[in-house]
Amino acid sequence: MFKKILSITIVLFFSQQLLMAEAIKVFEFSEDEMEILKVRKIKGKTTYILGSNENGNYLRAEAEGKASGLGKEVTINLLKTPFINITWKVQKDLSGIIENSKKGHDYAARVFVIKKTGATALSNRAINYVFSSNNLVDENWASPYTKKSIDYVLSTTKKNLDEWVTVKANVREHFKKFHDLDVKELNGVAIMTDTDNSKLKAISYYQNIYFSSE
């Protein structure tokens, strides 16, 4: 009986280790990490503040007529971990704007996944996963600024305003569907809360962003 219990314990342990190995965490949301994240300023600077709750560290973002993102160059093997997982919340949204227009192209929360496809940043392809204030989950469109970036709604405040939501998307399938690219490896991930076009105010939170095998 003891040997049987020991055998089961060993199997469970290695199963847990395998699951951990197949989950790639992108952001720690720690003070040390904030020092090394790349800041991309578009107009002004979004205010990003660290915090924590019972589920770990999070990042609070606030923007009013501003737009700047935080990015990390990271290699993600989409053959092994094609799914992005995001836990986020929008406390104050951008209701009333037309998000697929240049004047309304703002999001209270968004997470970019990036594939380098050329020598410059303008040549890169991206899927922009957004927490929409006006559209429904799974709606999508090309960015009004560049067809090389697709906006895809993973959450909406029409259903989940001021509530934590956890979502998942198959990144590899989306690159194939929207960019006709068989992407085996990502090169970067970024987050951004922006209101530079609408001039409105947004407050959102990001937590536990990682890639998984399923």
Q: Print pLDDT tens along the chain (214 aa).
A: 444 443 433 333 333 443 444 799 999 999 999 999 999 888 889 999 999 999 999 999 999 999 999 999 999 999 999 999 999 999 999 999 999 999 999 999 999 999 998 766 677 999 999 999 999 999 999 999 999 999 999 999 999 999 999 999 999 999 999 999 999 999 999 999 999 999 999 999 999 999 999 9
CATH number of 25-212: 2.60.120.260
Confidence (pLDDT) at 158:
96
pTM above 0.85, yes or no: yes
Confidence (pLDDT) at 78:
98
Strands 125-132, 149-156: pairing kind: parallel
Confidence (pLDDT) at 19:
43
Enumerate the domain spans of the chain: 25-212
Q: Which amino acid is at 117?
A: T
- Dihedral, 192, 77, 208, 90 alpha carbons, nearest 10: 30
Output the CA–CA distances (angstroms, integers) from residue 15 to 10, 11, 20, 21, 80, in the order listed. 8, 6, 9, 10, 16
Confidence (pLDDT) at 121:
67
Confidence (pLDDT) at 8:
38
Answer whether 25's CB lies under 8 Å from 33's CB: no
